[in-house]
Amino acid sequence: MTRIPDPVPTPDGPAYEGRLLHRPDDEVVDQGAAFDIATLLSRRGAVRLLSLGTGAAILAACTPQTGSTTASSSATADGLTEIPDETAGPYPGDGSNGPDVLEDSGIVRRDIRTSVAGGDPVPGVPLDFTFTVLDMANGGVPMAGAAVYAWHCSAGGLYSMYSDGVTDQTWLRGVQVTDDAGEVTFASVMPGCYAGRWTHIHFEVYPSVDDVTDSSKAIATSQMAFPQNVLDAIYTRNEYAGSADNLAQLSLATDTVFGDDGGVHQIGTFKGDADAGYASSLTVPIDTTTAPTGGSMGGGAPGGGQPPQGGAGAPPSR
């Protein structure tokens, strides 16, 4: 039998594979279902289980059916758990708190590495990320024709339209319409980690592309989380200066968004490497019979905070 390595002591407590133990006084094997499933996902083991036809059953049986602290979650007999509803944060650019990129001609695009009006692409390790939107109200079939708006910070931790020096830029924001398989794919770069938040990508799902100009019509608002082993591989690069130090202060268990369940339903599956780039995927089940509880904070950063500034600097206090 393969021996599970002992946890590694850190200033914040014992950790296994870079993640703080949910139950510091217990062994690794006794950390609970959420910790176990997060471990499977970080190793992309869930994909292998699904290929054997057992993954859905394991996830349905072992995964807590609660969403984030700002969210509600629901499950069906098909073993799907609704993507947790999350805040869109203070930098959505969807018109809910000021700037609105969704009114711009050209926002429907696959490649989001430049501003909508053009210009140089932002630096960073290439990332193609795919969301597969499923319709739980109709048995988990692909939701074709839905519009997905995605946005995230740059390698330096900046948000276009908000951070100093880039308020006139709209890079790393775009809309795609799901195909018959319920999929959308964006060409982007790996985001940096700014102080106070685990690395993530925001997204909103709308019934159709005609609805994206009204943020109140979003049927789901959530975030994709990144596995630590992938982040560790890229945060040694110059364009990600500051990200490694910021990430070292966090864990999925302590993050203000993913912390309630370790992001078990929101961790993307990744393949690739830091030299060639990565491709990631995340399944996004949506139950349209439940009222969405996520969305923008509005009014700027909570607590009077400011947008992240250069060098993956200080974010809002959250």
Lowest mean pLDDT among 77-86, 114-123, 224-233, 305-314: 305-314
pLDDT of residue 19: 61
Greatest Cα-to-Cα distance within the chain, rounded to the nearest angstrom: 59
Q: How far apart are CA 236 and CA 243, in angstroms?
A: 9
CB 160 within 8 A of CB 173: yes
Domain 15-298 has CATH 2.60.130.10: yes
pLDDT of residue 300: 36
pLDDT of residue 252: 96
pLDDT of residue 292: 87
CB 277 within 8 A of CB 126: yes
Both structure tokens of 59: 């996830």
pLDDT, greater one: 258 or 293: 258
Confidence of residue 260 (pLDDT cuts 50, 70, 90): confident
Task: Give the amino acid at 88.
Answer: A
User: Using one digit for the tens of pLDDT, what is the confidence trace for 32-74?
Assistant: 544 454 454 344 333 333 333 333 332 333 333 333 334 445 5
Residue spans of the domains in the chain: they are: 15-298
User: Using one digit for the tens of pLDDT, what is the confidence trace for 140-159?
Assistant: 999 999 999 999 999 999 99
